[in-house]
Amino acid sequence: MASAAATLTVPVGRRGRPVRWSFLVWYPLVVIAGFVMAMPLLWMILTALKTNGQVLNLASPIFPHPLVWQNLVQAWDSAPFGRFYLNSIIFTVSATLGQVLTSAMAGYAFARFRFPGRDLFFYLTLTGLMIPFVTVMVPVVQLVNDFHWLNTYQGLIVPNIQNAFGMFLFRQYFLSLPTEVEDAATVDGASLVRRFTVVALPMARPIVSAFALLAFLVNWNNFLYPLLVTKTQNMMVVPLGLSIFQSQYTTYYNLLMAAALIAVVPVLIVSVFAQRAIVNGITLGSFR
């Protein structure tokens, strides 16, 4: 009887499945937590569509009326956001593709090959996850300078084509995959490159898509490294351009929020449409 009382359920019409009382308690809490987390974004959007006088007037309504869409146009025209977007797209796409490729190859090697010092090299690579970038940024920038890559696309991209976290994710995922299909391809005469590109990599699509999306978000929002290796406005990415815009329009809060909204549009689009792939890719193969 005690067990039956502890698992008291309420019937619902959807698919005929019972719902526990705990669900009725936690669901509203999750909704409230989501609303609280979304409040800064909502506030930014509403502020971007107000006049500056409405922003400064505490008695003005929360929802602007009318909506001042001209703020977005004015913010875009006040700084070379077109160039910033182009630089960010080139940097983000190239760095993301490089990180996916190198992480997949390294993860596959650590998962499938047996060679002396494999575990040692793996753990040494993982130390990259525990070392903050600020502790190594001086030698990294010095190397970029020695190659004469400062203020160039290769200086932005090449040092960012590896990712220790991605290598770890791919290794764990490949360890969870059966080897029978790869063994059959080997018997049929497939080379190592063909086994990796035609057999293993297609089976790793969930982790490929998830890591690519995570890498895209991180690279798009990267501020510190581009700040160190770019000198001219012509090579700046969106986060750097936004900081310059902020220094010029410190008292125009509506324009500042409009510029911030312009900067986060790609992140919002990727986050909304790809959140399921991100969650599935992280949970699949992350533990063995």
Q: Residue 205: what pLDDT?
A: 87
Q: Residue 50 has what DSSP assignment?
A: S
Quick check: 171 and 107 in contact, CB under 8 A?
Answer: yes
Helix, strand, coil percent content, the chain, rounded in steps of 5? 75, 0, 25
**pLDDT greater than 70 at residue 180:** yes
CA distance 278 to 269: 13
Nearest to 99 by CA among 166, 155, 144: 166
β-strand partners of 19: 10
| pLDDT(245) > 80 | yes
CA-closest candidate to residue 104, choices 187, 161, 22:
161
Q: So what's the pLDDT on residue 9? A: 47
**Do 177 and 204 contact (CB within 8 A), yes or no?**
yes
Domains contained in the chain, CATH given: 21-68 (no CATH), 78-283 (1.10.3720.10)
* Whole-number Å distance between alpha carbons of 211 and 277: 9
- pLDDT-derived band at 239 (thresholds 50, 70, 90) equals very high
The predicted pLDDT at position 127 comes to: 85
Q: What average pLDDT does this structure show over 155-166?
A: 93
Q: How far apart are CA 245 and CA 225, in angstroms?
A: 19
11 sits in which H/E element: strand 9-11
What is the distance between the alpha carbons of residues 119 and 60, in angstroms, rounded to a whole number? 62
Give the count of alpha carbons within 13 A of 85, CB side only. 13
Buried b (16+ CB within 10 A) or exposed e, 124-136: ebeeeeeeeeeee
Tell me the average pLDDT of the chain: 85
Which of 7-21, 74-88, 193-207 has the lowest average pLDDT?
7-21
Mean per-residue pLDDT for 195-211? 88
Residue 62 has pLDDT above 80, yes or no: yes
Place of tokens 């790869």: 182
pLDDT over threshold 80, residue 256? yes
> Please, are residues 92 and 272 in contact by the beta-carbon 8 Å criterion?
no
Tell me if 61 sits within 8 A of 123, measured CB to CB: no
pLDDT at 229: 95
Q: Which residue has the higher pLDDT, 5 or 266?
A: 266
pLDDT at 8: 44
pLDDT tens column, 221-238 = 999 999 999 999 999 999
Mean pLDDT of the region 74-93: 92
- Predicted confidence at residue 148, as pLDDT, reads 94
Write the DSSP string, 226-242.
Answer: HHHH--SGGG--HHHHH
Query: What is the rounded average pLDDT of the residues 180-192?
Result: 86
Tell me the mean pLDDT in the region 80-107: 94
Report d(CA 99, CA 39) in Å as an integer: 33
The secondary structure of residue 249, as a DSSP letter, is: -
pLDDT at 94 (0 to 100): 96
Q: How many CB atoms lie within 10 A of CB 227?
A: 14
Tell me which DSSP letter residue 69 carries.
T
Task: Give residues with Cβ within 8 angstroms of 232, minimum separation 6.
Answer: 151
Kindly indicate the confidence band of residue 145, based on its pLDDT and cuts at 50, 70 and 90: very high
| pLDDT for the residue numbered 1 | 45
Contact 278, 214 (CB under 8 A): yes
pTM metric for this prediction: 0.81
pLDDT at 2: 45
Radius of gyration of the chain (CA): 25
- Please answer whether residues 207 and 173 qualify as being in contact, where contact means their C-beta atoms are separated by less than 8 angstroms: yes
Q: How many C-beta atoms surround the C-beta of residue 60 within 10 A?
A: 14
pLDDT tens by residue, 39-59: 988 989 998 999 888 888 887
